[in-house]
Structure 1
């Protein structure tokens, strides 16, 4: 894989990190503690708020996992291991990397 391709993947991953940051900023309010105020919110409304909070936390956890995958891809780029299967060492096809630059295995090893 040449430097131009690596730079393109690095730019794509940087954009993905920025999108994750924007999503975290939007989702922060949904993860706050749900207040118990029976005067302002009824029992069912509070249950809805708790469910929304749980979904926001799950979304935040998925974003954190994706962020970790992106940083791992940056580490592989720095170590000049990006684009190679972590199991067999063969080059991962660029079509697969185009779909998800964070993949660490070729199709054969991923399906095994």
Structure 2
């Protein structure tokens, strides 16, 4: 991996961290408890509970993604950054650009 590719990946990781933090903040607002005294009908309440469950799942996924991105940011300075943790081959830049938190190449994932 070239120095310019590494620098670009660091920018991408930082950008994705900020985006993910914003998404987490939005999801935290959406998963707040539904007050019992809210004047909504039974069906609307069921929809709200269903949406809350979906948003809670999204929040868990985004939190995990944030942890992976922060770990990638920490590892960006390491000599083995961009190398597959399983086979040791270089992970293609396009894959890292799309998924900067990945630690395995395509053939080792599957």
- Following TM superposition, where does structure 1 have runs of at least 4 consecutive aligned residues deviating by more than 3 angstroms? none
> What are the ranges of 5 or more consecutive residues in structure 1 without an aligned counterpart?
none
Q: Give TM-score scaled by structure 2 length.
A: 0.88
Q: What is the Cα deviation at residue 102 of structure 1?
A: 1.4
**Matches of 1:13 and 1:24, distance apart in 2:** 16
1:25-104 counterparts in 2 under 5 A? 25-37=25-37, 40-104=39-103
Number of residue equivalences: 110
User: TM-score normalised to the size of structure 1?
Assistant: 0.86
SS of 2:76's equivalent in the other structure is helix
**RCO greater where, 1 or 2, for CA within 8 Å and sep 6 or more?**
2
CA–CA distance in 1 between the matches of 2:35 and 2:78? 47
- What is the root-mean-square deviation in Å for CA atoms of aligned residues? 1.6
- 2:14 aligned with 1:9: no
Unaligned 5+ runs, structure 2? none
